[in-house]
Chain A
Amino acid sequence: MITIALAKGRLAEKTLDLLEQLGISCSEIRTGSRKLIFTTDDGTIRIIMVKPSDVPAYVEYGTADIGIAGKDTLMEEGRSLYEMLDLKFGGCRLVVAGFPDKKHSGITQSHIRVATKYPNITRSYFSGKGETVEIIKLNGSVELGPLTGLSDVIVDIVESGRTLAENGLEVLEEICPVSARLVVNQVSLKTRNDEIKRIIDGLRELLEGKES
């Protein structure tokens, strides 16, 4: 039996829709149960519901063979996983945002202050550009950073850009596009290849069918 780790929330819903189209259904999850571990109706797959940012850990340790998580989470966690499929949903962009006219305002501050939920991505993005930044880790409503003067800019995911616009902020730089990805444990891919391949190939066909 293989185990799939799903990021609780919208990504899980969409993934379950896709799996159902493959004939893999899990009616128990759909009842809105508060359980954390489920088995599909045919008894072949175990599904565990985890916090989105925890998906990579479950898969890296091999506790889950497959995981579905956003590209942003994968980049932030930086774990050793096989990233095998772009599920195309959950699309958004990772960006640097702030007030268009004042990216860096401090006189006493020799470098930019960046508020973000993604300290690792932020560090590697700015160091890749040869810039030193001060990172302020926040856990939500990151937009408040520049609004309150806590930070000069933010690094966050943006879907429609409405929250930014309503607060007078703009996208200053785009880091990369983000969407839901299917990741696989490096050992499971080999030792449970048949079961995993069946799911990946099925999903791939489904997605390609949708595109064309």
Chain B
Amino acid sequence: MTEGGSKSIIISILYHDKLIKQQSTVVRLYVKRKAVSRLSSPFNKWMQQIPEGVQDSLPEERYNARIAEDKLRRKFHLSGYDEVDTPLFEYLDIFEGKTASIEQEQMYKFFEPGSRIMVLRPDITMPIARIAATKMKNRPLPLRLSYFGNVYRYEGQRQNGQREFAQAGIELLGSRKPEADAEIISLAVESLLELGLTEFQIDIGQVEFFKGLVEEAGLNEVQSENLRHLTDQKNKLALEMQLKELSIPAETKNNLLKIPMMFGGEEVLKSAMVLAETERCMKALENLDVIYRMLKNFGLSRYIAIDLGMVHSLNYYTGMIFRGMIRDMGYPVCGGGRYDSLVSEFGKDLPATGFALDMRRILMALERQKGLAPLPVADILFVYDSSVNKECYRKIQSLRSEGLRVEIFLPAENGMTAEAYAREKGIPRLLQFSSGRFQERMV
């Protein structure tokens, strides 16, 4: 920008600004400074940035994400699951029922007069429960549904500060049977294998076991929530302190204190049987045992471990729960469980079980296990001699219909030749149309 140019713009701004009619020096200076700063930095810096916690997917990542989604989509489809989609935003009410596991402060809310409070969906299972209880209530049971989509949650500094999560998952609604739980867990294992992951472990637990022990102890809601949190965090010290203050039988205290460390192989179930005095605890262990034996029969026991101290989201889960973990990744990559009381909140009593995968973590795990594919280049770079003609267009169409990736060369302003462009991008073949003939060259 030349000196004269910037001056003339300043003058025209001054001329158009009503305030300038007062000819105040202060105003003149202010307007002048503003005009200059706008000229010296052509961009608003916010136009080049995105908010914290969300991300762009560049071609290399998106290509691999698509491969992963395709593999899962096929797996779910072949297993009898039908894909559904739900709105990106819905009424807050959907996510705030009695069994909700997501706090209101974690949701992105918006308001307008004449409407109830709406939120960006923090989860897709709850909208699916809504669909199952309403629009699909007359379909034959069980319902097998799958989904792919983003969910939005504010987690503070947890979860790497991420606020947008890409999820893929399945829900099996209408069956109380352990076979349904075994189906869900086995599909989780198969999904991870299909994605190309090998070193992973699925921890399975049963929230009814913990609930049974707490019920036996006769604790109130605040006390049991306290114990639940400490148990889930495997914080034995604090758990011990907490239990000391409660007036419950010493044996119950002892049992509750053991739960956090009740993880490992099959033997954990046997040692837990000794502690299970009430019917509720016993039933929980029997249920987990049945599920475990089915998975063992399927030949999947090498991927499965038991953790009875896994007791997150107790309002939501009502039976088996599980989490999938990958060595060298600090976070679980998938999780799920049985939630028999959720759907009834939407008007139809329907037992249900399901799981979801965190697609971004899956990609990170694949990258660490060197399982990501390079972005493929075009097979052929097509070069016109002068302008587009019918013959060329037909040729390109026929090559593409054979499954070849054909890119048309468009000379750029930097004057790069077709050969140079193909070399830079790694395109192996060049197809040129000149003097009425097609000529092929290797690059």
A181 vs B233: C-alpha distance when bound (angstroms): 14
Which residue in B234, B235, B238, B330 is a CB contact (below 8 Å) of A62?
B330
Main SS class of interface, B = mixed
Chain B residues with CB under 8 A of A189: 234, 263
Contact, CB under 8 Å: B234 / A187: no
Contact, CB under 8 Å: A83 / B330: no
Which residue in A60, A63, A83 is a CB contact (below 8 Å) of B234?
A83
A187 vs B327: C-alpha distance when bound (angstroms): 7
Answer whether residue A188 sits at the interface, using C-beta atoms and an 8 A cutoff: yes
Residue interface bits B287-328, CB-to-A below 8 A is 1, else 0: 000000000000000000101000000000000000001111
- Taking CB atoms and an 8 Å cut-off, the chain B residues in 227-242 that contact chain A are 233-238
Chain B residues with CB under 8 A of A61: 160, 330
Which residue in A79, A82, A190 is a CB contact (below 8 Å) of B235?
A82
> What is the chain B residue whose CB lies nearest that of A189?
B234
Answer whether residue B191 sits at the interface, using C-beta atoms and an 8 A cutoff: no
A136: min CB distance to chain B, Å: 21
Chain A residues with CB under 8 A of B199: 191
Contact, CB under 8 Å: A83 / B238: yes
A189 vs B201: C-alpha distance when bound (angstroms): 12
A58 vs B36: C-alpha distance when bound (angstroms): 46
Chain A residues with CB under 8 A of B235: 82-84
A189 vs B233: C-alpha distance when bound (angstroms): 12
Residue interface bits B4-34, CB-to-A below 8 A is 1, else 0: 0000000000000000000000000000000
Number of residues from B at the complex interface, CB < 8 A? 24
Residue interface bits B175-214, CB-to-A below 8 A is 1, else 0: 0000000000000000000000001010100000000000
Which residue in B233, B237, B328 is a CB contact (below 8 Å) of A86?
B237
Answer whether residue A69 sits at the interface, using C-beta atoms and an 8 A cutoff: no
**Residue with the greatest number of chain A CB neighbours at <10 A, chosen from B158, B203, B331:** B331
A64 vs B327: C-alpha distance when bound (angstroms): 13
Answer whether residue A81 sits at the interface, using C-beta atoms and an 8 A cutoff: yes
- Taking CB atoms and an 8 Å cut-off, the chain A residues in 163-207 that contact chain B are 181, 184-193
Answer whether residue B53 sits at the interface, using C-beta atoms and an 8 A cutoff: no
**Residue with the greatest number of chain A CB neighbours at <10 A, chosen from B235, B330, B331:** B330
A79 vs B331: C-alpha distance when bound (angstroms): 12
> What is the chain B residue whose CB lies nearest that of A58?
B330
Contact, CB under 8 Å: B328 / A83: no
A6 vs B288: C-alpha distance when bound (angstroms): 39
A181 vs B237: C-alpha distance when bound (angstroms): 10
Answer whether residue B329 sits at the interface, using C-beta atoms and an 8 A cutoff: yes
A186 vs B327: C-alpha distance when bound (angstroms): 11
- Taking A187-B329, A191-B326 as given, write out 17 further A-B residue pairs in contact, using a Cβ cutoff of 8 Å, ordered by the A residue number: A60-B330, A62-B329, A62-B330, A79-B158, A81-B233, A82-B235, A83-B233, A83-B234, A83-B238, A85-B237, A186-B331, A187-B327, A187-B330, A187-B332, A189-B234, A190-B203, A191-B328
Which B residues form the contact surface with A (CB < 8 A)?
Answer: 157-158, 160, 199, 201, 203, 233-238, 263-264, 305, 307, 325-332
Which A residues form the contact surface with B (CB < 8 A)?
Answer: 60-63, 79-86, 181, 184-193
15 CB contacts below 8 A, A to B, read: A60-B330, A62-B331, A79-B157, A80-B158, A80-B233, A83-B233, A83-B237, A185-B330, A186-B330, A186-B331, A186-B332, A187-B331, A189-B263, A191-B326, A191-B327
Per CB-CB distance, the 10 closest pairs between chain A and chain B, nearest first, are A62-B330, A82-B234, A191-B327, A187-B325, A83-B235, A61-B330, A86-B237, A185-B330, A187-B330, A190-B325
